[in-house]
Amino acid sequence: MRYLAWTFALIVLVAAAVLAAGWRPPYHYNPWAALDLRAEPDWLTRFRLYRLARAPDQCLAALERSGASFTSVPDKQAPDGCGWQHGVMLRSTGVARLERPTVVTCPLAASLVMLDLHVLQPSAQAAFGSGVSTIEHVGSYNCRAVKGDDGSALSSHAQARAIDVTGFRLKNGDDITVARDWRRPPAGPFLRDAQAQACSYFGIVLGPDYNAAHAGHFHMQAGSAGWCR
């Protein structure tokens, strides 16, 4: 037993010395590494995205390194719990621009950047021979309840934690819309694949197969659960 105790103590001392000398595990094996939005996603991506909501400075730094075009905006407090914290005015992911700039929380912006870089661009190039130039949407922030004015809980839109994406414009000028193309080839398979892969970067993703209210858009919400319908 004493031998095991000494061995454990030696291991701890060696590990502490190595860390003190500046060594860190490679990125793909280090859960505490600063998230690189451009790096190929791995088994720790969702955990790193989860951490961003609790580390606003790290989130902004990750967005800056990614090449996204954005501006930090002051926190907003509105009646009934509406408003946002750690918001940014997002203009582009660094590759595709948003149809119009919109305020989203920093973690939501980070998820959008990863979706574009690792899903939309390669998938569109493979399916259509053209990347995505524009992400079309109908906004993020909206001070409302989940089901309107029926007394239900606040929507994630009421805190700028979700965005409703309606489609994509390709660099060749073609438009792909959720409402028109969900069940039409070849755009339909692209849209369904984009929604499925989005689950790796968002807490909730809802689309046309969820209910009639989402027939024309993807509801993409920041978070770590990965609940997709």
Q: Give me the pLDDT at residue 24, please.
A: 63
Using only C-alpha atoms, what is the Rg of the chain? 20
Instruction: Tell me how far apart the alpha carbons of residues 109 and 81 are, in angstroms, rounded to a whole number.
Output: 21
Q: In whole angstroms, what is the distance from residue 12 CA to residue 212 CA?
A: 57
Which is nearest to 199 in space by CA: 167, 160, 161, 229? Answer: 229
Q: Identify the pLDDT of residue 10.
A: 44
Q: pLDDT for 183-217, tens place per residue? A: 999 999 999 999 999 999 999 999 999 999 899 99
Separation of alpha carbons 205 and 151, rounded Å = 23
pTM metric for this prediction:
0.86
Confidence of residue 99 (pLDDT cuts 50, 70, 90): very high
SS3 string, the chain, reads CHHHHHHHHHHHHHHHHHHHCCCCCCHHHCCCCCCCCCCCCCCCHHHHHHHHCCCHHHHHHHHHHHCCEEEECCCEECHHHCEECCEEEEEECCCCEEEEEEEEEHHHHHHHHHHHHHHHHHHHHHHHCCCEEEEEECCCCCCCECCECCCCCECHHHHCCEEEEEEEEECCCCEEEHHHHCCCCCHHHHHHHHHHHHCCCCCEEECCCCCHHHCCCEEEECCCCCEEC
Q: Give the pLDDT score at 152.
A: 66
Domains, the chain, with CATH or none: 46-228 (3.30.1380)
In sequence order, the 6+-apart residues with CB closer than 8 A to the CB of 53 are 59, 105, 107, 222
Q: How much of the chain, in percent, has pLDDT values that exceed 90?
A: 70
Largest Cα separation within the chain, whole Å, is 72
Q: Burial level of 150, CB count in 10 A (0-12/13-18/19+)?
A: exposed
User: Residues 153-172: pLDDT tens digits?
Assistant: 889 999 999 999 999 999 99
pLDDT one-digit tens code per residue, 169-191: 999 999 999 999 999 999 999 99
Which residues have CB under 8 Å from 11's CB, separation 6+?
Answer: none
How confident is the model over 114-120, as a mean pLDDT? 98
Retrieve residue 194's tokens: 């984009």
